[in-house]
């Protein structure tokens, strides 16, 4: 492989112009040197350039190879790192002087190291944990994709980063080669953390250099654009005569301009590809899949793929639907996550796979538009990557602000024939009825396509079947029940009990007691993994064998029994306040929050003026412990989730004295108030610096400094010990002396290990800015005078850092009317009807009357007709109410003197009601005098 490093860079003496891949080439040669001859031949034969399917296939392979020895699935730990590596290999061969083989060798080296480590189970656990941590800070294509063309500095730093990754792989391979005795001795005298620490520190330094180069590359791109615009303006007619006098200079400028144009096209190409994909869907569909897969125990959730019905569904040449119903807690989502991995692992060249895991904890996923946009993004991804720039420009324009039916039309028009398109869906039972109807209709449209073959597999509760498949012919069904599920639960219980014993979570005086525990769990699980999981947690919390035996005598009979007991335990705790607040917020938030964002949220009080860090809970681990196992912190994302969505259903749908305060509307309103309070804090005011300068209040240098670092308890404790040590040496330190000490100590702790997220001082800010509007939709906002005043301030005042979706300059931004209809935002409608400025135009009001959800229609219609005086708004209100079948809105419109024979787009209100089969509305319109003999425009009424 010497040819990888033998060629010099284009300008050997200039380090800025050297081949950016040199360090990576040398690292790959070093990797080759540690291999045996047989391994070397396989490594050098690597010629596959990976795609995202390669990532999923490989992690599935790793889990499958280790299913007999591993205690947990590691695929989710590896995914983010491998995805970033795949993104790098996709572009490295475009770098200056790059060799096309480099991409395949980097991917091959990473795979070889991971597979080597997987042969040693105890070592592999540490390796995968390390890889997961690396994956959190890996350079992502979204960060550098539009900037790397023509930027040698950024290319070089990316190659330096992956050169360090290759050296890390060398270390893994060498460690795996040690004899068992040597491995034991090494773990004692040179622990894993110490052995890899130098390379991890080097990675941290390199990622900082990559971020710096990304910033410089962005500035370079702007400067090149400025020069190109200037050059092109000088090439106008008035400058041509002058340019002839400076022919040589002009030639140089033209050459530079041509280079800038080429780079501009490459950057525009990358930008357009990202824009088209984001226009289809910006939802991170891989994250919920990884989280589901993380819960899987090896050797479980595999039986479905062995079923003849599954094979028939997968292999038949026609479009087909496979329905997998099951009860709550039976492992449906985990089953579907493994189906995704299986489809990627066994895919044929003409298979194209997509998936969408919907969840109430991420509101963005609970819409038909989001589901079909996510599917379209995945199915069209390879085509988007290969389109020329002219076609990308058309697509970017075409995909802006598409509705559900338009996304489906785009999908059908672009997908070719001769391929099989797989769709894996889960969690759709959480959809509202209107969205479920749109989803059902869209799936029917896809499955009836004559030109493409769609294979849909969907899991859900039994009662969903009639709603989801009323428009689709249901071909095949495999219930997630019976002996196969019981066998999986047996494996699950055995694996979890072994893990709890090995990790000393379950402590027994009598080892024989484990048999009684295992038998009792098998007998009581009744086909529910969740019941087994939570009951094992309860048994691990017991203090003695007698306590365990007593617990086995009174095992809960159902999930509700478990939840009742845990809420009762929380209520009697002295520290229950934060735990109860966290449980309430977790079910209402629009997306999961990270631990440090919760720390800020739990400290907030309505209308406070500044962020009081002294009110932050110091021990967030204790807060989660006080939730008695009803929530968990995702190990990769650091976000907080219910242990299962049945917890949310229990907390907010169960009538019990233990659950006082778990009211969706009141908690939603409370969150809206806290979001607005947060955004109105003085910490964010533009004049903060002037206020501080003119204030006589003493600054607190310790608190000021510590606010900008990670809120990790261990880090803060180490800083406190340093300060205490310094305090002993300096008697009565002044504020200035303490500040200088703090600055020095902080410098020691502010190492490169601080991620951008940790460096962010305000962790709740991003959520509050994005979702304050979502939490202020109900009447409580304007019924409370103080809250109403704060709402208006967030909309009108420039010094409040609240985002307004209709003011954002984005192809995916929503108009005010769209926010009102999509988020059922009565408060914004009320403000927009009475507010000046902010009043809606007539066209916006008509759009709201047309598009609002059925459950909101009467409320919205009544508000618009009460507040807005317009000649024919009531006519439109009547027509769209007839179309939707809302009898209350029909009567309200007639009260406002609506024209009962209103015609919109060639269709009368009566005809619209007949089209929708709304018999009660038809009767009401006829009683009001609607003309039954009016001319029918069938083209308008039936399209």
CA distance 732 to 716: 22
pLDDT at 577: 92
540 and 678 fall within a common domain: no
DSSP 670-707: HHHHHHHHHHT-GGG-TTHHHHHHH--SPP-HHHHHHT
> How would residue 912 be classed by pLDDT, with cut points 50, 70 and 90?
very high
Task: Give me 825's structure tokens.
Answer: 């935002």
pLDDT in tens, 840-866: 888 999 999 999 999 999 999 999 999
Q: Report CA-CA distances (Å) from 246 to 239, 256, 604.
A: 11, 15, 67
Q: Are 91 and 148 in contact (CB under 8 A)?
A: yes
CA distance 675 to 772: 5
CA distance 688 to 686: 6
Residue 443 pLDDT > 80: yes
Residue 271 pLDDT > 70: yes
Please list, in sequence order, all residues whose beta carbon lies within 8 angstroms of the beta carbon of residue 688, skipping any fewer than 6 positions away.
682
Question: Phi and psi for 463 in degrees, rounded to 5?
Answer: -70, -10
Q: Report CA-CA distances (Å) from 324 to 333, 372, 459, 481.
A: 10, 20, 5, 10
Q: Report, as an integer, the average pLDDT of 270-279.
A: 89
632 and 739 fall within a common domain: yes
pLDDT at 695: 46
Task: Give me 492's structure tokens.
Answer: 């699950």
DSSP 167-229: HHHHHHHHHHTS-HHHHHHHHHHS-HHHHHHHHHHHHHHHHHHHHHHHHHHHHHHHHHHHHHH
Q: Is the link from the previous residue into 837 a cis peptide, with omega within 30 of 0?
A: yes
Q: Which of 503, 524, 555 is the last residue of a domain?
A: 555
Residue 357's DSSP bridge partners are 426
pLDDT at 51: 85
Tell me the CB-side half-sphere exposure of residue 575, using CA atoms within 13 A.
Answer: 15
834 and 805 fall within a common domain: no
Sign of CA dihedral 766, 767, 770, 776: negative
- Other beta carbons within 10 angstroms of residue 173's beta carbon come to 19
Q: Which of 525, 555, 585 is the last residue of a domain?
A: 555
Eight-class DSSP state of 697 = S
Selected residue with higher pLDDT from 892 and 721: 892
537 and 582 fall within a common domain: no
Q: Report, as an integer, the average pLDDT of 902-911.
A: 91
pLDDT at 182: 53
Of 215-229, 305-319, 527-541, which range is least confident? 215-229
769 and 633 fall within a common domain: yes
Q: Report, as an integer, the average pLDDT of 523-541.
A: 92
398 lies in which domain range? Answer: 286-481
Phi/psi-derived region of residue 219, left when phi > 0, alpha when psi is between -120 and 50, beta in every other case: alpha
pLDDT at 580: 95
Q: Can you tell me which residue has the tokens 């109807």? A: 437
Rg of the chain over Cα atoms, rounded to whole angstroms, equals 31
Does 913 map to a domain? Answer: yes
Task: Give me 444's structure tokens.
Answer: 């029917």
CA distance 196 to 228: 47
Query: How far does CA 667 lie from the centroid of its chain?
Result: 23
325 and 450 fall within a common domain: yes
Residue 293 pLDDT > 70: yes
Residue 914 pLDDT > 50: yes
Please list the alpha-helical segments (H only) found in 245-318: 247-280, 286-294, 303-306, 308-315
- Other beta carbons within 10 angstroms of residue 47's beta carbon come to 11
Pairing of strands 631-633, 640-642: antiparallel
Residue 756 pLDDT > 90: no
CA distance 192 to 184: 11
Eight-class DSSP state of 312 = H
Q: Report, as an integer, the average pLDDT of 226-252.
A: 57
pLDDT at 691: 42
pLDDT at 121: 74
Task: Give me 417's structure tokens.
Answer: 């024939």
CA distance 76 to 287: 9
Of 155-159, 734-738, 812-816, 935-939, where does the model show the most confidence?
A: 155-159
Compute the residue count for the chain: 943
Q: Which of 117, 127, 130 is nearest to 178 (CA)?
A: 117
Residue 394 pLDDT > 50: yes
How much is the pTM?
0.83
Q: Report CA-CA distances (Å) from 812 to 211, 279, 381, 403, 809.
A: 27, 6, 19, 11, 9
Over 611-679, what HEC string results?
Answer: CCHHHCCCCHHHHHHHCCCCEEECCCCCEEEECCHHHHHHHHHCCCHHHCCCCHHHHHHHHHHHHHHHH
840 and 700 fall within a common domain: no
388 and 293 fall within a common domain: yes
pLDDT in tens, 299-321: 889 999 999 999 999 999 999 99
pLDDT in tens, 577-611: 999 999 999 999 999 999 999 999 999 999 999 99
pLDDT in tens, 640-678: 999 999 999 999 999 888 888 999 999 999 999 999 999
DSSP 451-469: SSEEEEEEEE-GGGHHHHS
CA distance 638 to 680: 27
Q: Report, as an integer, the average pLDDT of 93-112.
A: 82
Q: Are 911 and 901 in contact (CB under 8 A)?
A: no
Q: Which of 356, 369, 378 is nearest to 456 (CA)?
A: 356
> How would residue 255 be classed by pLDDT, with cut points 50, 70 and 90?
low
476 and 488 fall within a common domain: no
Give percent above pLDDT 90 in the chain.
49
Task: Give me 322's structure tokens.
Answer: 């496979």
Does 270 map to a domain? Answer: no
Does 252 map to a domain? Answer: no
pLDDT at 718: 57
Does 780 map to a domain? Answer: yes
pLDDT at 687: 40
CA distance 211 to 538: 46
527 and 452 fall within a common domain: no
pLDDT at 15: 46
Of 58-72, 507-521, 661-675, 712-726, which range is least confident? 712-726
Does 647 map to a domain? Answer: yes
Please list, in sequence order, all residues whose beta carbon lies within 8 angstroms of the beta carbon of residue 109, skipping any fewer than 6 positions away.
28, 31, 43, 166, 169
> How would residue 257 be classed by pLDDT, with cut points 50, 70 and 90?
low
pLDDT in tens, 401-420: 889 999 999 999 999 888 99
CA distance 683 to 286: 35
458 and 523 fall within a common domain: no
Q: Report, as an integer, the average pLDDT of 417-439.
A: 91
> How would residue 736 be classed by pLDDT, with cut points 50, 70 and 90?
low
Please give the torsion angle defined by the CA atoms of residues 240, 241, 244 and 246, in that order, rounded to the nearest 10 degrees. Answer: -90
Does 265 map to a domain? Answer: no
Residue 181 pLDDT > 60: no
Does 773 map to a domain? Answer: yes
pLDDT at 357: 96
pLDDT in tens, 336-392: 999 999 999 988 989 999 999 999 888 889 999 999 999 999 999 989 988 888 999
Q: Report, as an integer, the average pLDDT of 868-894.
A: 91
Strands (E) across 788-842 are located at: none
Pairing of strands 420-426, 453-460: parallel
Q: Which of 448, 481, 514 is the last residue of a domain?
A: 481
Residue 460's DSSP bridge partners are 325
Q: Are 108 and 85 in contact (CB under 8 A)?
A: no
477 and 536 fall within a common domain: no
Pairing of strands 907-908, 476-477: unpaired
pLDDT in tens, 466-499: 888 877 777 799 999 989 999 999 999 999 999 9
CA distance 298 to 837: 60
Does 278 map to a domain? Answer: no
Q: Report, as an integer, the average pLDDT of 284-312.
A: 92
CATH of the domain at 308: 3.40.50.300
Q: Which of 470, 468, 457 is nearest to 324 (CA)?
A: 457
What domain count does the chain have? Answer: 5
CA distance 768 to 683: 14
Eight-class DSSP state of 871 = S
Q: Which of 518, 459, 460, 458 is nearest to 489 (CA)?
A: 518
Give percent above pLDDT 70 in the chain.
82
pLDDT in tens, 760-815: 689 999 999 999 999 999 888 888 999 999 999 998 887 888 888 887 666 567 88
Q: Which of 716, 760, 750 is nearest to 620 (CA)?
A: 716
Q: Report, as an integer, the average pLDDT of 608-622.
A: 93
């Amino acid at each position: 492989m010497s040819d990888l490093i033998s060629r010099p860079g284009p300008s050997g003496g200039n380090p800025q112009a050297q081949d950016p891949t040199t360090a990576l080439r040398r690292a790959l040669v070093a990797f080759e040197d540690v291999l045996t001859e047989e391994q070397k031949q396989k490594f050098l034969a690597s010629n596959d350039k990976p795609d995202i399917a390669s990532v999923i296939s490989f992690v599935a392979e790793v889990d499958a190879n280790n299913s007999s020895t591993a205690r947990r699935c590691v695929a989710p730990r590896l995914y983010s790192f491998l995805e970033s590596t795949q993104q790098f290999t996709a572009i490295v061969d475009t770098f200056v002087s790059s060799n096309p083989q480099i991409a395949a060798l980097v991917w091959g080296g990473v795979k070889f190291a991971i597979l080597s480590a997987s042969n040693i189970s105890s070592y592999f656990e540490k390796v995968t944990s390390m890889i997961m941590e690396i994956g959190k800070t890996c350079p992502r294509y979204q960060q550098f994709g539009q900037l790397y063309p023509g930027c040698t500095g950024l290319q070089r730093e990316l190659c330096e980063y992956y050169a360090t990754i290759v050296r890390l792989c060398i270390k893994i391979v060498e460690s795996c080669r040690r004899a068992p005795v040597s491995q034991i001795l090494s773990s004692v005298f040179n622990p894993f953390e110490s052995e890899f620490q130098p390379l991890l520190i080097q990675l941290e330094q390199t990622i900082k250099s990559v971020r710096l180069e990304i910033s410089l590359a962005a500035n370079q791109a702007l400067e090149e654009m400025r020069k190109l615009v200037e050059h092109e303006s000088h090439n106008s007619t008035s400058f041509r005569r002058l340019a002839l006098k400076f022919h040589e200079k002009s030639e140089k400028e033209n050459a530079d301009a041509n280079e800038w144009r080429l780079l501009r096209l490459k950057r525009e190409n990358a930008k357009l590809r990202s824009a088209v994909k984001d226009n289809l869907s910006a939802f991170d569909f891989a994250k919920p899949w990884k989280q589901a897969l993380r819960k899987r125990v090896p050797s479980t959730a595999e039986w479905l793929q062995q079923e003849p019905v599954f094979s028939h569904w997968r292999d038949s040449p026609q479009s087909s639907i496979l329905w997998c119903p099951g009860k709550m807690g039976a492992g449906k989502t985990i089953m579907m996550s493994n189906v995704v991995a299986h489809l990627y692992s066994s895919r044929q060249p003409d298979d194209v796979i997509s998936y969408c895991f919907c969840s109430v904890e991420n509101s963005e996923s609970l819409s038909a538009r989001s589901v079909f946009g996510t599917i379209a993004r995945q199915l069209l991804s390879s085509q988007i990557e290969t389109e020329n720039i002219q076609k990308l420009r058309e697509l970017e324009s075409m995909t802006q602000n598409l509705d559900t039916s338009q996304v489906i039309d785009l999908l059908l028009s672009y997908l070719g024939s001769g391929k099989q398109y797989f769709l894996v869906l889960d969690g759709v039972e959480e959809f509202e009825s209107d969205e479920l109807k749109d989803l059902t209709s869209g799936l029917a449209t896809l499955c009836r396509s004559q030109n493409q073959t769609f294979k849909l597999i969907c899991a859900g509760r039994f009662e969903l079947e009639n709603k989801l498949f009323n428009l689709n012919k249901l071909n095949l069904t495999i219930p997630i029940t019976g002996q196969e599920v019981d066998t999986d639960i047996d494996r699950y219980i055995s694996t979890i009990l072994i893990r709890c014993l090995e990790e000393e979570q379950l402590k027994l005086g009598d080892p024989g007691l484990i048999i009684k525990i295992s038998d009792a769990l098998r007998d009581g699980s009744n086909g529910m993994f969740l019941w087994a999981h939570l009951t094992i947690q309860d048994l691990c919390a017991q203090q003695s064998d007698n306590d365990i035996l007593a617990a086995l005598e009174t095992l809960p009979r159902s999930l509700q029994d478990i939840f009742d007991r845990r809420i009762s335990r929380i209520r009697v705790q002295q520290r229950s306040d934060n735990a109860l607040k966290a449980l309430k917020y977790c079910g209402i938030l629009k997306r999961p929050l990270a631990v440090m964002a919760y720390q800020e949220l739990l400290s907030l009080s309505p209308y406070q003026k500044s962020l009081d860090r002294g009110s932050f809970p110091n021990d967030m681990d204790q807060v989660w412990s006080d939730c008695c196992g009803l929530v968990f912190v995702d190990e990769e994302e650091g976000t907080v989730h219910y242990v299962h969505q049945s917890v949310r259903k229990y907390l907010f749908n169960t009538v019990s004295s233990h659950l006082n305060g778990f009211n969706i509307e009141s908690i939603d309103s409370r969150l809206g108030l806290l979001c607005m309070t947060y955004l109105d804090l003085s910490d964010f005011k533009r004049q903060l610096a002037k206020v501080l300068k003119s204030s006589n209040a003493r600054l607190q240098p310790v608190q000021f400094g510590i606010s900008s670092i990670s809120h990790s308890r261990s880090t803060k404790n180490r800083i406190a010990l340093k300060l205490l040590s310094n305090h002993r040496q300096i008697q009565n330190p002044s504020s200035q002396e303490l500040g200088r000490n703090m600055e020095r100590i902080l410098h020691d702790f502010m190492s490169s290990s601080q991620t951008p997220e940790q460096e962010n001082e305000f962790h709740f800010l991003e959520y509050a800015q994005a979702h304050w509007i979502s939490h202020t939709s109900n009447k409580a906002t304007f019924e409370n005078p103080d809250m109403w005043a704060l709402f208006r301030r967030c909309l009108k005042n420039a010094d409040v850092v609240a985002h307004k979706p209709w003011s954002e300059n984005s192809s995916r931004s929503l108009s005010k009317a769209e926010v009102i209809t999509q988020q059922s935002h009565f408060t914004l409608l009320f403000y927009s009807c009475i507010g000046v400025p902010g009043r809606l135009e007539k066209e916006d009001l008509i759009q709201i009357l047309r598009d609002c959800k059925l459950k909101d229609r009467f409320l919205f219609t009544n508000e618009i007709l009460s507040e807005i005086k317009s000649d024919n708004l009531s006519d439109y209100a009547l027509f769209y109410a007839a179309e939707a079948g809302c009898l209350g809105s029909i009567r309200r419109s007639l009260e406002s003197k609506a024209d009962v024979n209103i015609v919109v787009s060639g269709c009368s209100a009566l005809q619209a009601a007949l089209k929708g089969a709304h018999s009660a509305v038809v009767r009401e319109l006829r009683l009001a005098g609607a003309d039954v003999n009016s001319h029918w425009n069938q083209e308008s009424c039936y399209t």
